[in-house]
C-alpha cells in the first residue's frame, strides 16, 4: 500500500510537471519538425528501419485529433473498401495498430510497409483504420523507450475489469515494479490510450491487429478461431495481463485481438516474410471474421 501511495504521489508530480511542460514540448517538436506531413515524416523516418521520409508521406497519414503528451500528433488514416459502404454491403472493419511500445521500431515500420498494399485485393474489400505509431513520444525519445512520456506502459493502461486492484498488484508482484511496465495510476490515464479507446468506440472494429516485437510469435485473444501462423510466426500464447489491449478488447469486449510479435525490435524481417505475414493475416480475416 505504501508503495502504491508513493506511486500516486509520483504520478501526480509527473502530471503537474507534464502540464507545465506540454506547451514547451510542443514548441520543441515544432522546432525540430514543422507541423506538416513532411516535418512529421522526417522525424519518424529518422527512427524507423526501412522507412524513408518520402514513403512516409506517400502513406497520406493525417492528424487524428489525438496528441501525445509532448505534443506530437497521433497520425492515422482510414481506408474505406474499394466498392464503398452502400447497398447493404458491410465490410469487415479492422483496426491496425503499430508502435504501442516506442522501442519496438519494427512494429511501426511494418505497418508503414503494409499501407502500400491496402488498396490491392483482398485488402481493398475491408475497411481499415490504421495508426502506425501509437506512442510517438516513446519512439522519438533521445533513446527509444517502451513507455510514453509519462513513464506509462500503454499496453497495461486499458480499463480491464478490476484494474484498480489487479494492475498495481500484478505490476508489483509479477514484474518487481519494473518501470518499463508501470501501468499508471488509473486506466486510460494517458492521452494515447484514451484516443485508442475513442477510436474503438467510434470506428467499431470487428478485429484489432496490434504489432509488437521481439518475441517472434503470434498471440490471440477473443471469440474467433485461433490463427495458427502468419508467415513464420507460430501461435504461442504470451499471456493475458491486467490493462492489456488483448485482455480489454479480446476478453471483455468480445472483439478479437491478434497480437503479432515480430522476432526483432530493430531489424525488419525480409521483404518476402513481410509479405507472407500480410497475406496470411488477410486470409485469416477473410475466413474467420464476419
Q: In sequence order, which ranges of the chain are alpha helices (DSSP H)?
A: 2-32, 37-45, 53-58, 105-115, 136-139, 163-175, 191-203, 245, 271-288
CA-based angle 94:232:219, to the nearest 5? Answer: 50
Q: What share of the chain is helix, strand, coil (3-state, %, to 5)?
A: 40, 15, 45
pLDDT (0 to 100) of residue 85: 61
Q: How much is the average pLDDT of 102-124? A: 97
> Which of residues 6 and 173 earns the better pLDDT score?
173
pLDDT (0 to 100) of residue 84: 67
- Residues 200/218, Cβ–Cβ less than 8 Å: no
Question: For residue range 207-227, what is the model confidence (pLDDT) as tens digits?
Answer: 999 999 999 999 999 999 999
Give the pairing of strands 93-98 and 127-131: parallel
Cα separation, 267 vs 253, in Å, equals 34
- My answer on whether omega of the bond before 201 falls inside 30° of 0, hence cis, is no
Q: Full-prediction pTM beyond 0.75?
A: yes
Torsion (CA) 109, 112, 114, 115 in degrees, nearest 10: 170
| Alpha carbon separation from 4 to 133, 169, 175, 178, 214 (Å, rounded) | 30, 9, 14, 13, 30
Q: How much is the average pLDDT of 97-123? A: 97
pLDDT (0 to 100) of residue 239: 83
Q: pLDDT tier at 87 (50, 70, 90 boundaries)?
A: low
Q: How much is the average pLDDT of 235-244? A: 93
Q: How much is the average pLDDT of 189-218? A: 98
Q: Is residue 185 pLDDT above 50, yes or no?
A: yes
Per the prediction, the chain carries an average pLDDT of 89
Q: Is residue 32 pLDDT above 70, yes or no?
A: no
Q: What is the CATH number of domain 2-288?
A: 3.40.630.10
Structure letter (DSSP) for residue 235: B
Q: How much is the average pLDDT of 275-290? A: 96
Q: How much is the average pLDDT of 150-159? A: 98
Q: How much is the average pLDDT of 91-104? A: 97
Amino acid at each position: 500500500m505504501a508503495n502504491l501511495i508513493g506511486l500516486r504521489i509520483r504520478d501526480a508530480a509527473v502530471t503537474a510537471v507534464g502540464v507545465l511542460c506540454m506547451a514547451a514540448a510542443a514548441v520543441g517538436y515544432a522546432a525540430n519538425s514543422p507541423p506538416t506531413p513532411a516535418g512529421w515524416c522526417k522525424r519518424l523516418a529518422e527512427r524507423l528501419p526501412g522507412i524513408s521520409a518520402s514513403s512516409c508521406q506517400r502513406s497520406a497519414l493525417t492528424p487524428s485529433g489525438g496528441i501525445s503528451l509532448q505534443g506530437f500528433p497521433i497520425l492515422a488514416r482510414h481506408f474505406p473498401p474499394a466498392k464503398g459502404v452502400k447497398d447493404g454491403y458491410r465490410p469487415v472493419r479492422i483496426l491496425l495498430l503499430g508502435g504501442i511500445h516506442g522501442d519496438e521500431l519494427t512494429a511501426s515500420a511494418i505497418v508503414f510497409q503494409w499501407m502500400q498494399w491496402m488498396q490491392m485485393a483482398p485488402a481493398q474489400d475491408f475497411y481499415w483504420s490504421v495508426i502506425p505509431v501509437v506512442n510517438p513520444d516513446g519512439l522519438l525519445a533521445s533513446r527509444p523507450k517502451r513507455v510514453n512520456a509519462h513513464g506509462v506502459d500503454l499496453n497495461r493502461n486499458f480499463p480491464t475489469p478490476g484494474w484498480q486492484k489487479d494492475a498495481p498488484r500484478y505490476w508489483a508482484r509479477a514484474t518487481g515494479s519494473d518501470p518499463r511496465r508501470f501501468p499508471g495510476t488509473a486506466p486510460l490515464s494517458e492521452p494515447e490510450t484514451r484516443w485508442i479507446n475513442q477510436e474503438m468506440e467510434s470506428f467499431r472494429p470487428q478485429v484489432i491487429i496490434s504489432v509488437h516485437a521481439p518475441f517472434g510469435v503470434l498471440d490471440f485473444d477473443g471469440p474467433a478461431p485461433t490463427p495458427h501462423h502468419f508467415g513464420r510466426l507460430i501461435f504461442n500464447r504470451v499471456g493475458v495481463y491486467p490493462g492489456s489491449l488483448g485482455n480489454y478488447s479480446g476478453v471483455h469486449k468480445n472483439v478479437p485481438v491478434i497480437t503479432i510479435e515480430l522476432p526483432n525490435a530493430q531489424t525488419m524481417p525480409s521483404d518476402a516474410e513481410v509479405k507472407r505475414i500480410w497475406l496470411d493475416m488477410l486470409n485469416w480475416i477473410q475466413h474467420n471474421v464476419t
